[in-house]
Amino acid sequence: MPAPMTPQLWGLLILLSAIWGASFFFAAVALTGFPPFTIVLGRVAIAAAVLALACRMSRLPLPQGRPAWIACAGMALLNNALPFSLIIVGQQYIPSGLAAVVNASTPVFAVLCAHWLATDERLTAGKLAGALTGLLGVAILAGPAALTAGHGTELLGILLCLGACLSYGLSGVWSRRVRLAGLQPLQAATGQCIASTLMMLPLVLAFDAPWALPPPPAAAVAALVAFGVVSTALAYALFYAILARAGATNTMLVTLLVPVTALLLGTLVLDEQLAARHFAGMAVIAMGLVMMDGRALAWIRAR
Protein backbone atom coordinates (compact mmCIF):
# COMPACT_ATOMS: atom_id res chain seq x y z
CA MET A 1 0.00 0.00 0.00
CA PRO A 2 1.27 3.52 -0.75
CA ALA A 3 2.44 5.66 2.13
CA PRO A 4 0.52 8.82 3.08
CA MET A 5 1.67 12.08 1.55
CA THR A 6 4.11 13.67 3.99
CA PRO A 7 5.25 17.33 3.80
CA GLN A 8 8.53 16.10 2.30
CA LEU A 9 6.70 14.19 -0.44
CA TRP A 10 4.50 17.23 -1.16
CA GLY A 11 7.64 19.33 -1.50
CA LEU A 12 9.15 16.87 -3.99
CA LEU A 13 5.84 16.76 -5.87
CA ILE A 14 5.73 20.55 -6.17
CA LEU A 15 9.35 20.61 -7.36
CA LEU A 16 8.55 17.96 -9.96
CA SER A 17 5.52 19.94 -11.13
CA ALA A 18 7.69 23.04 -11.62
CA ILE A 19 10.18 21.05 -13.70
CA TRP A 20 7.48 19.44 -15.83
CA GLY A 21 5.62 22.72 -16.13
CA ALA A 22 8.73 24.17 -17.72
CA SER A 23 8.81 21.26 -20.19
CA PHE A 24 5.87 22.70 -22.14
CA PHE A 25 7.81 25.93 -22.55
CA PHE A 26 10.94 24.03 -23.64
CA ALA A 27 8.85 22.08 -26.15
CA ALA A 28 7.39 25.23 -27.67
CA VAL A 29 10.87 26.72 -28.16
CA ALA A 30 12.37 23.46 -29.46
CA LEU A 31 9.61 23.19 -32.09
CA THR A 32 11.03 26.32 -33.75
CA GLY A 33 14.08 24.31 -34.85
CA PHE A 34 13.30 20.57 -34.75
CA PRO A 35 10.48 18.25 -35.89
CA PRO A 36 8.47 16.46 -33.15
CA PHE A 37 10.03 12.97 -33.19
CA THR A 38 13.53 14.43 -33.22
CA ILE A 39 12.69 16.49 -30.14
CA VAL A 40 11.45 13.39 -28.31
CA LEU A 41 14.56 11.41 -29.33
CA GLY A 42 16.88 14.24 -28.27
CA ARG A 43 15.04 14.60 -24.98
CA VAL A 44 15.28 10.94 -23.96
CA ALA A 45 18.78 10.37 -25.41
CA ILE A 46 20.23 13.33 -23.47
CA ALA A 47 18.43 12.14 -20.34
CA ALA A 48 19.72 8.58 -20.82
CA ALA A 49 23.32 9.84 -21.03
CA VAL A 50 22.96 12.03 -17.93
CA LEU A 51 21.27 9.30 -15.90
CA ALA A 52 23.79 6.64 -16.98
CA LEU A 53 26.58 8.93 -15.80
CA ALA A 54 24.75 9.43 -12.50
CA CYS A 55 24.46 5.65 -12.09
CA ARG A 56 28.17 5.26 -12.71
CA MET A 57 29.05 7.98 -10.20
CA SER A 58 26.68 6.36 -7.66
CA ARG A 59 28.17 2.92 -8.40
CA LEU A 60 24.77 1.58 -9.39
CA PRO A 61 24.63 -0.96 -12.23
CA LEU A 62 22.25 -0.56 -15.13
CA PRO A 63 19.11 -2.71 -14.98
CA GLN A 64 20.02 -6.38 -15.33
CA GLY A 65 17.96 -9.39 -16.33
CA ARG A 66 14.90 -9.87 -18.46
CA PRO A 67 12.25 -8.84 -15.86
CA ALA A 68 14.05 -5.54 -15.19
CA TRP A 69 14.33 -4.63 -18.87
CA ILE A 70 10.72 -5.65 -19.58
CA ALA A 71 9.64 -3.32 -16.76
CA CYS A 72 11.79 -0.52 -18.17
CA ALA A 73 10.56 -1.12 -21.74
CA GLY A 74 6.92 -0.89 -20.66
CA MET A 75 7.57 2.37 -18.84
CA ALA A 76 9.57 3.64 -21.82
CA LEU A 77 6.59 3.07 -24.11
CA LEU A 78 3.78 4.22 -21.79
CA ASN A 79 5.58 6.97 -19.88
CA ASN A 80 8.01 8.31 -22.52
CA ALA A 81 7.81 7.43 -26.19
CA LEU A 82 4.03 7.40 -26.66
CA PRO A 83 2.92 10.32 -24.44
CA PHE A 84 5.91 12.52 -25.31
CA SER A 85 5.20 12.06 -29.01
CA LEU A 86 1.46 12.70 -28.63
CA ILE A 87 2.01 15.87 -26.62
CA ILE A 88 4.72 17.31 -28.85
CA VAL A 89 2.60 16.67 -31.97
CA GLY A 90 -0.41 18.11 -30.17
CA GLN A 91 1.52 21.29 -29.35
CA GLN A 92 1.70 21.98 -33.07
CA TYR A 93 -2.07 22.57 -32.96
CA ILE A 94 -2.68 24.09 -29.52
CA PRO A 95 -0.71 26.49 -27.27
CA SER A 96 1.66 25.02 -24.70
CA GLY A 97 -0.46 26.36 -21.83
CA LEU A 98 -3.57 24.57 -23.09
CA ALA A 99 -1.54 21.38 -23.56
CA ALA A 100 -0.49 21.60 -19.90
CA VAL A 101 -4.10 22.18 -18.86
CA VAL A 102 -5.30 19.11 -20.79
CA ASN A 103 -2.44 17.10 -19.29
CA ALA A 104 -3.90 17.72 -15.85
CA SER A 105 -6.63 15.15 -16.54
CA THR A 106 -4.02 12.41 -15.99
CA PRO A 107 -5.00 11.74 -12.32
CA VAL A 108 -8.51 10.76 -13.41
CA PHE A 109 -7.08 8.21 -15.85
CA ALA A 110 -4.58 7.08 -13.19
CA VAL A 111 -7.32 6.55 -10.60
CA LEU A 112 -9.53 4.62 -13.02
CA CYS A 113 -6.67 2.52 -14.42
CA ALA A 114 -5.43 1.69 -10.92
CA HIS A 115 -8.96 0.71 -9.86
CA TRP A 116 -9.68 -1.57 -12.83
CA LEU A 117 -6.20 -2.99 -13.54
CA ALA A 118 -4.60 -3.22 -10.07
CA THR A 119 -5.57 -4.42 -6.63
CA ASP A 120 -3.62 -2.20 -4.22
CA GLU A 121 -5.09 1.22 -5.07
CA ARG A 122 -8.85 0.84 -5.19
CA LEU A 123 -11.07 3.74 -6.13
CA THR A 124 -12.50 5.63 -3.16
CA ALA A 125 -15.08 8.36 -3.04
CA GLY A 126 -12.48 10.81 -1.75
CA LYS A 127 -10.01 10.13 -4.55
CA LEU A 128 -12.67 10.37 -7.22
CA ALA A 129 -14.17 13.55 -5.77
CA GLY A 130 -10.71 15.09 -5.45
CA ALA A 131 -9.74 14.25 -9.01
CA LEU A 132 -12.99 15.67 -10.38
CA THR A 133 -12.58 18.81 -8.27
CA GLY A 134 -9.08 19.22 -9.65
CA LEU A 135 -10.42 18.90 -13.18
CA LEU A 136 -12.96 21.59 -12.38
CA GLY A 137 -10.06 23.84 -11.44
CA VAL A 138 -8.37 22.98 -14.72
CA ALA A 139 -11.55 23.92 -16.59
CA ILE A 140 -11.60 27.26 -14.77
CA LEU A 141 -7.96 27.81 -15.74
CA ALA A 142 -8.74 27.07 -19.39
CA GLY A 143 -11.70 29.45 -19.39
CA PRO A 144 -14.13 29.80 -22.31
CA ALA A 145 -11.59 28.34 -24.76
CA ALA A 146 -12.27 24.88 -23.33
CA LEU A 147 -15.93 25.21 -24.35
CA THR A 148 -15.22 26.39 -27.90
CA ALA A 149 -12.58 23.82 -28.85
CA GLY A 150 -15.09 21.68 -30.65
CA HIS A 151 -13.71 21.48 -34.14
CA GLY A 152 -10.68 21.68 -36.39
CA THR A 153 -7.03 21.44 -35.49
CA GLU A 154 -7.53 22.60 -31.90
CA LEU A 155 -9.74 19.60 -31.20
CA LEU A 156 -7.09 17.33 -32.74
CA GLY A 157 -4.44 18.81 -30.45
CA ILE A 158 -6.64 18.29 -27.40
CA LEU A 159 -7.41 14.68 -28.36
CA LEU A 160 -3.71 13.93 -28.86
CA CYS A 161 -2.93 15.31 -25.39
CA LEU A 162 -5.80 13.29 -23.88
CA GLY A 163 -4.28 10.19 -25.47
CA ALA A 164 -1.06 11.02 -23.66
CA CYS A 165 -3.00 11.28 -20.39
CA LEU A 166 -4.40 7.79 -20.88
CA SER A 167 -0.90 6.49 -21.57
CA TYR A 168 0.39 8.10 -18.37
CA GLY A 169 -2.48 6.51 -16.44
CA LEU A 170 -1.58 3.07 -17.79
CA SER A 171 2.08 3.66 -16.95
CA GLY A 172 1.10 4.09 -13.31
CA VAL A 173 -0.25 0.55 -13.30
CA TRP A 174 2.75 -0.84 -15.20
CA SER A 175 5.12 0.84 -12.74
CA ARG A 176 4.39 -1.95 -10.26
CA ARG A 177 6.66 -4.13 -12.37
CA VAL A 178 9.48 -1.69 -11.68
CA ARG A 179 9.04 -2.18 -7.95
CA LEU A 180 8.77 -5.96 -8.35
CA ALA A 181 12.01 -5.98 -10.36
CA GLY A 182 13.77 -4.40 -7.37
CA LEU A 183 15.12 -1.43 -9.31
CA GLN A 184 16.37 1.65 -7.51
CA PRO A 185 14.77 4.94 -8.69
CA LEU A 186 17.92 6.01 -10.55
CA GLN A 187 18.27 2.61 -12.21
CA ALA A 188 14.63 2.60 -13.32
CA ALA A 189 14.85 6.10 -14.76
CA THR A 190 18.03 5.23 -16.65
CA GLY A 191 16.65 2.00 -18.06
CA GLN A 192 13.44 3.72 -19.11
CA CYS A 193 15.28 6.48 -21.00
CA ILE A 194 17.65 4.02 -22.68
CA ALA A 195 14.73 1.90 -23.87
CA SER A 196 12.74 4.90 -25.10
CA THR A 197 15.80 6.14 -27.02
CA LEU A 198 15.94 2.82 -28.86
CA MET A 199 12.19 3.07 -29.58
CA MET A 200 12.35 6.61 -30.96
CA LEU A 201 15.42 6.19 -33.17
CA PRO A 202 13.67 4.23 -35.98
CA LEU A 203 10.79 6.77 -36.03
CA VAL A 204 13.20 9.68 -36.41
CA LEU A 205 15.12 7.96 -39.21
CA ALA A 206 11.88 7.03 -41.00
CA PHE A 207 9.91 10.27 -40.68
CA ASP A 208 12.19 13.19 -39.77
CA ALA A 209 15.29 12.54 -41.94
CA PRO A 210 17.57 14.48 -39.52
CA TRP A 211 20.42 14.58 -42.04
CA ALA A 212 18.32 16.85 -44.27
CA LEU A 213 17.24 19.32 -41.57
CA PRO A 214 18.50 22.92 -41.69
CA PRO A 215 20.70 24.15 -38.81
CA PRO A 216 18.44 24.88 -35.81
CA PRO A 217 18.54 28.24 -33.99
CA ALA A 218 20.55 28.42 -30.79
CA ALA A 219 17.42 28.91 -28.67
CA ALA A 220 15.94 25.66 -29.97
CA VAL A 221 19.17 23.78 -29.18
CA ALA A 222 19.31 25.23 -25.67
CA ALA A 223 15.66 24.33 -25.08
CA LEU A 224 16.26 20.76 -26.24
CA VAL A 225 19.25 20.37 -23.91
CA ALA A 226 17.22 21.74 -20.98
CA PHE A 227 14.38 19.46 -22.02
CA GLY A 228 16.65 16.43 -21.67
CA VAL A 229 18.71 17.38 -18.62
CA VAL A 230 16.15 19.16 -16.43
CA SER A 231 12.68 18.11 -17.56
CA THR A 232 13.59 14.46 -18.18
CA ALA A 233 16.75 13.25 -16.38
CA LEU A 234 16.21 15.20 -13.16
CA ALA A 235 12.43 14.90 -13.40
CA TYR A 236 12.40 11.12 -13.70
CA ALA A 237 14.87 10.68 -10.87
CA LEU A 238 12.38 12.62 -8.72
CA PHE A 239 9.39 10.80 -10.25
CA TYR A 240 10.65 7.35 -9.32
CA ALA A 241 11.69 8.47 -5.85
CA ILE A 242 8.15 9.75 -5.20
CA LEU A 243 6.56 6.72 -6.88
CA ALA A 244 8.43 4.29 -4.64
CA ARG A 245 7.15 6.01 -1.50
CA ALA A 246 3.74 7.42 -2.40
CA GLY A 247 2.22 5.07 -4.98
CA ALA A 248 1.07 5.66 -8.55
CA THR A 249 -2.15 7.57 -7.87
CA ASN A 250 -0.53 10.03 -5.45
CA THR A 251 2.38 10.55 -7.82
CA MET A 252 0.02 11.41 -10.68
CA LEU A 253 -1.22 14.36 -8.61
CA VAL A 254 1.75 16.21 -10.09
CA THR A 255 -0.21 16.76 -13.31
CA LEU A 256 -2.80 18.84 -11.45
CA LEU A 257 0.00 21.23 -10.43
CA VAL A 258 1.77 21.38 -13.80
CA PRO A 259 -0.74 23.82 -15.43
CA VAL A 260 -0.28 26.23 -12.54
CA THR A 261 3.49 26.15 -13.03
CA ALA A 262 3.16 26.49 -16.80
CA LEU A 263 0.93 29.55 -16.48
CA LEU A 264 3.22 31.19 -13.93
CA LEU A 265 6.23 30.51 -16.18
CA GLY A 266 4.39 32.09 -19.09
CA THR A 267 3.74 35.17 -16.99
CA LEU A 268 7.34 35.56 -15.81
CA VAL A 269 9.16 34.59 -19.02
CA LEU A 270 6.72 35.40 -21.81
CA ASP A 271 5.15 38.44 -20.14
CA GLU A 272 1.68 36.90 -20.19
CA GLN A 273 -0.95 38.24 -17.81
CA LEU A 274 -2.88 36.10 -15.31
CA ALA A 275 -6.64 36.63 -15.28
CA ALA A 276 -8.92 36.25 -12.27
CA ARG A 277 -10.00 32.79 -13.47
CA HIS A 278 -6.38 31.61 -13.24
CA PHE A 279 -6.21 32.38 -9.53
CA ALA A 280 -9.66 30.81 -9.02
CA GLY A 281 -8.53 27.71 -10.90
CA MET A 282 -5.39 27.42 -8.78
CA ALA A 283 -7.53 27.55 -5.61
CA VAL A 284 -9.89 24.83 -6.85
CA ILE A 285 -6.96 22.63 -7.89
CA ALA A 286 -5.49 23.00 -4.41
CA MET A 287 -8.86 21.96 -2.97
CA GLY A 288 -8.84 18.85 -5.16
CA LEU A 289 -5.35 17.92 -3.95
CA VAL A 290 -6.46 18.23 -0.34
CA MET A 291 -9.49 16.03 -1.02
CA MET A 292 -7.41 13.33 -2.71
CA ASP A 293 -4.85 13.38 0.09
CA GLY A 294 -7.65 12.88 2.61
CA ARG A 295 -5.81 13.86 5.79
CA ALA A 296 -7.36 17.30 6.13
CA LEU A 297 -10.89 15.94 5.64
CA ALA A 298 -10.21 13.16 8.15
CA TRP A 299 -9.04 15.76 10.67
CA ILE A 300 -12.19 17.82 10.12
CA ARG A 301 -14.41 14.76 10.64
CA ALA A 302 -12.48 13.85 13.79
CA ARG A 303 -13.00 17.35 15.16
| pLDDT, one tens digit for every residue, the chain (303 residues) | 455 667 788 888 889 888 988 888 899 889 999 999 999 999 999 999 999 999 999 898 998 888 889 989 999 999 899 999 999 999 888 777 778 877 877 777 777 776 666 655 566 777 778 778 877 877 776 666 555 544 457 678 878 988 998 898 888 778 777 766 678 888 888 999 999 999 999 999 998 888 888 999 999 999 999 999 999 888 888 877 887 777 766 776 777 778 777 777 767 776 665 567 767 777 777 777 777 666 656 666 666
| Sequential DSSP letters for 83-119 | HHHHHHHHTTTS-HHHHHHHHTTHHHHHHHHHHHH-S
Instruction: For the chain, give every domain's residue range.
Output: 7-127+146-259
Coil vs helix vs strand at 1: coil
- Rounded to whole angstroms, the Cα distance separating 46 from 188 reads 16
Dihedral pair phi/psi, residue 6, rounded to 5°: -85, 165
8 Å CB contact between 94 and 161: yes
Indicate whether this model's pTM tops 0.75. yes
